[in-house]
């Protein structure tokens, strides 16, 4: 039985319970655990031998037998994820299920399923959401496997595919994959996804497709497009969503529809990779490079990598799509070259934009030549002004929210440090607060310096809130063509905190009400702003010299994705007589990253980065894991890791694994908890996995020894995204 046991309890992956009747593997049951009754998943059902008969086992409290058992493929996925990412089987299995399902009794679940069956057998009321009233896939189609389904589904929705799209689709149909769809921003990757889904559903009346996106805020616009394409043919329940922004009842309804096969398409974020889909035949991972696919709490899995594994296990085709693929995916899709047999992925290239639209011209601004403390160069301000005059939109990107990163006193040197974290509290001018973005600790801005009483404390640095204010001041004298004032808007985690705020702000941008949009990475990817013709990156240099070897990769991706927001509608550009531009303000314009960006040359950038990583023995040419310890003192955390390191010397594969000394994290203290980590690395993935598996019992044992008494928690992060 897989149940979620307390962290570091070392109870083992599976627990045994007694049942008076046989239960097929995958059955959901309620079982006692300590003083609680919890949800569990039957992993195996065996008759007890005579020797075992004397051993007392707690009895299963009840089975949720109204629900069909979870399929073997799903259980294999969970088992692989638990094994590879060094977590307990029960933790992964239960985290993969909807939260509300864990609290339902057998009778409650049966009643819910009965209500769903009743609603599915009656016409769908237009006022109900798709989560409330899913319909079976077969109800809305003319017949199983209808040959004209793909064409009919696309009627009035899509024009003929471009030559590049058609070639990519032809190879997708002819080959097995996995596939990397390497298409420039605006090349029509989404249309390829949707046509691949349509063709699948035309061939197989029971088939299901999973479409994954990296972030919740990208889901609504893609969801609308998917629903528009498929619901007319399959009914309102054919498309369901799965992401953490949904309520628990909504998530349960979507999960049940997918599990029953009623939902033909599941659209979701990383959690959707664990959706129970018995007839899964296609997985799409859009923007596969995005770090959001790596879970950073609990079981630290990569949804992208699990999607590839699940596709291979269940015989489903997998498409990974990106204009800036992760270097691992790019390496895996390399063509054969001499003695190199090439990667195991098939690369499908779509370098052109739809409608012969040109990629934006990238212009660099050398900030070394600008007056001190210049925020926006005169040339950039003039270019934005020209866009405003023509009724076009500009987008200014700064990946730092708040008004200023820190508030400081010039007299005594006081800074707005967080008392609970090794970080500064950010100054938010709108509500006059100092807010820690790590632990959430918030206070009102003091009237004077808390240390010396100086009333003249000032913001240092610049965030999106301050940039928005600065742009408002600069363009206050300027009028739009209709005589109204220029509209500056900001989209970041602060401005979109309220329910529905993001949707409203995006609608205002799409309608043309906004002239200049300021924002963080939330606006840099995925959005299809048809009137944006200029994008500017204000201060991107920080990532160039980060200690994290992945920082340049992330920066290039972010800037190239940002550039892709400009000039997406070639007809609009032609009508305006305008061109698309990307402006980059930098002190390091000669850096290879910016030179490759000017040419929109991702392959050149990837080659340079991969060459460096090959020499340094870094991923994808090596495999890594982090062991982290959290404690009340840094000394306690590091002592635990030192002891773990010493204990690992005797392990069978220790000689094949490089272990680095324990060090504090970059932000070493969060919410009064000190954090330390140790990096382990190997040229062999198999050796690293075996080493970590052998190490786990030693780590559990250390936790119970004096050296582990002060440790709050420890964890293993396999294939970490940040070091």
- In 106-205, which residue ranges form alpha helices assigned H by DSSP? 106-120, 149-154, 163-174, 189-203
Q: Is 45 labelled a binding residue?
A: no
Q: How far apart are CA 89 and CA 701, in angstroms?
A: 19
Q: Is 646 within 8 Å of 659 (Cβ atoms)?
A: no
Q: Is 449 labelled a binding residue?
A: yes
Q: How far apart are CA 358 and CA 351, in angstroms?
A: 11
Which of the 8 DSSP states describes residue 98?
Answer: -
Q: Which residues contact 426 (CB under 8 A, 6 or more apart)?
A: 401, 402, 403, 404, 405, 406, 416, 434, 435, 436, 437, 463
Beta strand pairing status for 179-183 and 317-322? parallel
Starting at the edge strand found earlier in the chain, the sheet holding 516-519 runs 361-366, 581-586, 532-537, 393-397, 516-519, 488-491
Q: Is 439 labelled a binding residue?
A: yes
Q: Which residues of 565-593 are buried (b: 16+ CB within 10 A; e: fewer)?
A: bbbbbbebbeeeebebbbbbbbeeeeeeb
Structure-token pair, residue 715:
């964890």
The residues with which 631 forms a beta bridge, in sequence order, are: 674, 711
Q: How far apart are CA 392 and CA 388, in angstroms?
A: 6
Q: Which residues of 476-506 are buried (b: 16+ CB within 10 A; e: fewer)?
A: eeeeeeeeeebbbbbbbbbbbeeeeebeebb
> Phi, psi (5° rounding) for residue 122?
-115, 160
Q: How far apart are CA 546 and CA 660, in angstroms?
A: 19
Q: Is 695 within 8 Å of 651 (Cβ atoms)?
A: yes
**Cα-to-chain-centroid distance, residue 43:** 30
Q: How far apart are CA 536 and CA 534, in angstroms?
A: 7
Q: How many helices (H) and strands (E) does the chain have?
A: 19, 27
Q: Is 675 within 8 Å of 669 (Cβ atoms)?
A: yes
Structure-token pair, residue 721:
């995204």
Q: Is 373 within 8 Å of 434 (Cβ atoms)?
A: no
Q: Which residues contact 582 (CB under 8 A, 6 or more apart)?
A: 360, 361, 362, 363, 534, 535, 536, 537, 559, 562, 563, 566
Q: How much helix, strand and coil, in percent to the nearest 5, is found in the chain? A: 35, 20, 40
**Cα-to-chain-centroid distance, residue 416:** 31
Q: Which is nearest to 474 in space by CA: 527, 515, 519?
A: 515
Binding site feature residues: 409, 412, 418, 421, 436, 439, 449, 452
Binding site feature residues for Zn(2+): 409, 412, 418, 421, 436, 439, 449, 452
């Amino acid at each position: 039985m897989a149940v979620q046991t307390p962290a570091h309890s070392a109870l083992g992956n599976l627990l045994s319970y007694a049942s008076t009747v046989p239960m097929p593997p995958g059955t959901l049951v309620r079982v006692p655990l300590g003083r609680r009754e919890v949800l569990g998943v039957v992993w195996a059902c065996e008759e007890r031998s005579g020797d075992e008969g004397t051993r007392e086992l707690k009895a299963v409290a009840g089975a949720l037998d109204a629900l069909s058992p979870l399929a073997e493929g799903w259980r294999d996925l969970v088992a692989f994820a638990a094994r590879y990412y060094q977590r307990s089987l029960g933790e992964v299995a239960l985290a993969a299920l909807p939260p509300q399902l864990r609290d339902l009794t057998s009778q409650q679940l049966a009643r819910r399923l009965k209500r769903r069956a009743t609603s599915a057998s009656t016409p769908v009321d237009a006022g109900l959401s798709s989560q409330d009233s899913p319909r079976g896939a077969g109800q809305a189609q003319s017949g199983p496997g209808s040959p004209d389904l793909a064409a009919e589904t696309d009627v009035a929705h899509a024009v003929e595919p471009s030559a590049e799209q058609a070639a990519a689709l032809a190879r997708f149909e002819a080959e097995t994959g996995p596939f990397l769809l390497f298409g420039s921003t605006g090349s029509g990757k989404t249309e390829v996804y949707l046509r691949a889904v349509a063709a699948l559903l035309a061939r197989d009346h029971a088939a299901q497709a999973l479409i994954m996106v990296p972030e919740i805020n990208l889901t609504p616009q893609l969801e609308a497009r998917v629903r528009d394409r498929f619901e007319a043919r399959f009914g309102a329940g054919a498309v369901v969503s799965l992401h953490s922004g949904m309520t628990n009842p909504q998530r349960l309804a979507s999960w049940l529809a997918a599990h029953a096969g009623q939902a033909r398409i599941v659209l979701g974020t990383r959690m959707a990779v664990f959706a129970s889909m018995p007839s899964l035949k296609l997985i799409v991972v859009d923007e596969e490079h995005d770090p959001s696919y790596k879970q950073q709490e609990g079981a630290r899995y990569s949804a992208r990598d699990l999607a590839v594994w699940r596709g291979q296990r269940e015989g489903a085709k997998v498409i990974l799509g990106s204009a800036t693929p992760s270097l691992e995916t790019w390496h895996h899709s390399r063509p054969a070259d001499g003695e190199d047999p090439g990667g195991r992925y098939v690369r499908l290239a779509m370098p052109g934009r739809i409608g012969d639209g040109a990629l934006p011209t990238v212009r660099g601004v050398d900030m070394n030549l600008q007056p001190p403390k210049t925020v926006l160069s005169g040339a950039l301000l003039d270019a934005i002004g020209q866009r405003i005059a023509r009724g076009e939109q500009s987008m200014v990107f700064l990946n730092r929210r708040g008004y200023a990163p820190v508030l400081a006193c010039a007299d005594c040197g006081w800074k707005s440090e967080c008392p609970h974290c090794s970080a500064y509290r950010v100054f938010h001018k709108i509500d006059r607060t100092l807010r820690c973005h790590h632990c959430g600790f918030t206070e009102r801005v003091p009237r004077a310096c808390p240390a010396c009483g100086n009333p003249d404390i000032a913001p240092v640095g610049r965030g999106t809130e301050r940039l928005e204010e600065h742009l408002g001041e600069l363009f206050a004298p300027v009028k739009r063509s209709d005589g109204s004032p220029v509209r500056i808007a900001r989209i970041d985690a602060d401005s979109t905190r309220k329910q529905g705020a993001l949707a409203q702000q995006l609608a205002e941008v799409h309608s043309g009400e906004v002239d200049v949009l300021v924002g963080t990475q939330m606006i840099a990817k995925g959005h299809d702003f048809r009137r944006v013709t200029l994008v500017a990156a204000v201060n991107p240099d920080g990532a160039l010299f980060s200690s994290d070897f992945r920082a340049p990769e992330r920066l290039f991706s972010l800037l190239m994705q940002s550039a892709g927001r400009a000039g997406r509608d070639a007809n609009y550009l032609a009508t305006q007589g305008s061109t698309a531009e990307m402006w980059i303000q930098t002190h390091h314009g000669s850096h290879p990253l910016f030179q490759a960006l000017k040419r929109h040359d991702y392959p050149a950038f990837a080659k340079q980065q991969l060459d460096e990583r090959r020499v340094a023995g870094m991923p994808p040419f090596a495999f890594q894991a982090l062991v982290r310890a959290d404690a009340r003192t840094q000394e306690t955390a590091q002592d635990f890791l030192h002891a773990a390191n010493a204990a690992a010397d005797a392990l069978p594969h220790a000689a094949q694994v490089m272990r680095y000394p324990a060090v504090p994290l970059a932000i070493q203290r969060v919410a009064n908890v000190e954090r330390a980590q140790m990096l382990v690395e190997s040229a062999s993935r198999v050796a690293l996995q075996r080493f970590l598996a052998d190490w786990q019992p030693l780590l559990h044992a250390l936790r119970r020894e004096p050296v582990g008494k002060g440790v709050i928690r420890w964890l293993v992060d396999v294939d970490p995204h940040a070091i």
